C-alpha cells in the first residue's frame, strides 16, 4: 500500500513541476494538508521527497529537517534512484523500523529528478 500512495503523489503534474523547480515551499503548501489527513486517518507516518542521488529534499512530517545524505542508511532510496524502479519493503528510517514505498519522480519532460516515499512506522 505505501508504494501505491507514493505513486499517486509522484505522478501528479503539480508535484512533478514543483519538485523539478526545487520549490520546497510550494511542495509543502500543496501537500502538507494531504499528509496530515493521511497521518490522522490512515496512520501514514512519513512522506518525503528525495533529490538525486539520495538527499532529503522535503520531509512532510518534519519540513525544517532536510538536506541530509540518505545513501549510507537508506539503500532502498539509492536503488530506486539508480534503477528508476519503484520498491517497497522494510527499512530502518530515522524514526526507527518502518514499511516504505519509494517511487522514482520525473519532471514534466520525463527526466528523472529524484524520488518520493511514503512510510508507516512499525509500532
**CA pair distance 19, 1, nearest whole angstrom:** 23
pLDDT interval class at 60 (50, 70, 90): very high
The grid cell for 44 is: 501514514
In this prediction, residue 3 carries a pLDDT of 93
In this prediction, residue 102 carries a pLDDT of 97
In this prediction, residue 98 carries a pLDDT of 82
Beta strands per DSSP E along 2-122? 46-51, 55-59, 87-93, 96-106, 112-121
In this prediction, residue 15 carries a pLDDT of 98
In this prediction, residue 123 carries a pLDDT of 66
In this prediction, residue 119 carries a pLDDT of 92
Average of pLDDT values for 39-48? 93
**CA pair distance 120, 106, nearest whole angstrom:** 24
1 versus 57: the higher-pLDDT residue is 57
pLDDT interval class at 94 (50, 70, 90): low
Residues 3 and 88: beta-carbon distance below 8 Å? yes
**pLDDT tens, position by position, 9-35:** 999 999 999 999 999 999 999 999 999
Q: C-alpha distances in angstroms, 71 versus 102, 115, 116?
A: 14, 13, 15
pTM across the whole model: 0.93
Amino acid at each position: 500500500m505505501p508504494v501505491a500512495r507514493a505513486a499517486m503523489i509522484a505522478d501528479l503534474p503539480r508535484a512533478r513541476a514543483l519538485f523539478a523547480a526545487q520549490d520546497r515551499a510550494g511542495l509543502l503548501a500543496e501537500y502538507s494538508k494531504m499528509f496530515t489527513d493521511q497521518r490522522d486517518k490512515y496512520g501514514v507516518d512519513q512522506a518525503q521527497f528525495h533529490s538525486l542521488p539520495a538527499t532529503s529534499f522535503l520531509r512532510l512530517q518534519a519540513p525544517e529537517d532536510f538536506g541530509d545524505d540518505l545513501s549510507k542508511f537508506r539503500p532502498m532510496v539509492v536503488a530506486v534512484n539508480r534503477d528508476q524502479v519503484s520498491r517497497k519493503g522494510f527499512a530502518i528510517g530515522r524514526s526507527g523500523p518502518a514499511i516504505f514505498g519509494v517511487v522514482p519522480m520525473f519532471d514534466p519532460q520525463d527526466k528523472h529528478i529524484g524520488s518520493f516515499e511514503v512510510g508507516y512506522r512499525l509500532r
